[in-house]
Amino acid sequence: MSAKTFDALWELYKPRKVRGKKSEAELVRVYETYIRPRLGSKLVIKTTYEAIDKIHEKMKDTPYQANRVLSLIRPLFKHAQALRWIPEGHNPAKHVTLFAERKRRRHMRKGEAPKIAAAIRNHQERSPEACVFLWLIIFTGMRPGEIKAARWGQLHGSKLTLKEHKSSDKTGAEREVMLPPIAMEKLALLPRGRAEEKIIKIGTPEWIWRWIRVEASCRDLRIYDLRHTFATYALEQGFTLDQIGESLGHANPATTKIYAEMNTRSRQRVALDSSLAILNDMNIKETEDAFE
């Protein structure tokens, strides 16, 4: 029988608890980057609280990442208990205190916009799907998961209708995403597939985003912050929080009625005006005030 190390535990844990999750790529990255080098060859039963606390403490300058690492080590110990590798209740990571985290309030700043646009264009020819993925978040505010799930058959003109999305369980309603002309222009860079085929066949392009962040000198800007960017620009254009929430697919029972009454043209204006403002800051002028 192979040694009961963290690497052996990870190989048993991954198919059951990681594979198929929306966060699979990130969990794998956390393990491979931070846990394997420090604990991979260590026996689970001999790993102490002090060892885990030391790993966590050494990452104090990046508290968010440190906490993500701890949040993966904890369930690994729990899985080891289920496998009877360690006694029931033995989880030294459970007692390590998480670092305090401040709520991040980050979006693409105006000075960063042209640099990010140039960096994405630099990768466009080599990685078209990855770049279109990023453009869609920037110009529509779509969630990465929505982009990954979208299929060609759901696109009618400039409207993308998603039956399954983050808020579908709460509202039961379809999510309609209005694609401004610049988003349609970026989609045209990809060959149109069959109705059942996904528009973007890759996962969230974290690998290329890391390069773009370096090239654009915005290393702390996450992909999801691009969604915040769309919301920020929409707010600056004078749209209400209810209008922005509807365009972003937020589910809020208190504003369901308002959302229901918001017509297609209103959602189009949010998408168009916000995307035009972003384009202006990116120094890109290549779209028209029109929807199909």
In this predicted model, what pLDDT tens digit does every residue of 203-255 receive, in sequence order?
889 889 999 999 999 988 999 899 988 888 888 888 887 778 878 887 654 43
Reported confidence tier of residue 289, pLDDT bands at 50, 70, 90? very low
Model confidence, pTM: 0.63
Looking at the predicted structure, is the pLDDT value of residue 13 above 90?
yes
Distance CA 260, CA 256 (A): 6
Q: What is the dihedral of CA 189, 269, 223, 193, to 10 degrees?
A: -30
In sign, the C-alpha dihedral spanning 61, 63, 66, 68 is negative
Return the pLDDT at 231.
Answer: 87
pLDDT at 271: 86
What pLDDT does residue 19 have? 87
State the pLDDT at residue 62: 86
Q: How many residues does the chain have?
A: 292
Note the pLDDT of residue 263. Answer: 55
Distance CA 69, CA 65 (A): 6
Give the per-residue pLDDT at 290. Answer: 39
Q: Tell which residue, 14, 25, 20, 22, has the closest CA to residue 209.
A: 25
Which of 148, 167, 158, 131 shows the shortest CA–CA distance to 268?
158
DSSP 1-27: ----BHHHHHHHHIIIIITT-TTHHHH
Phi, psi of 120 (to 5 degrees): -65, -45
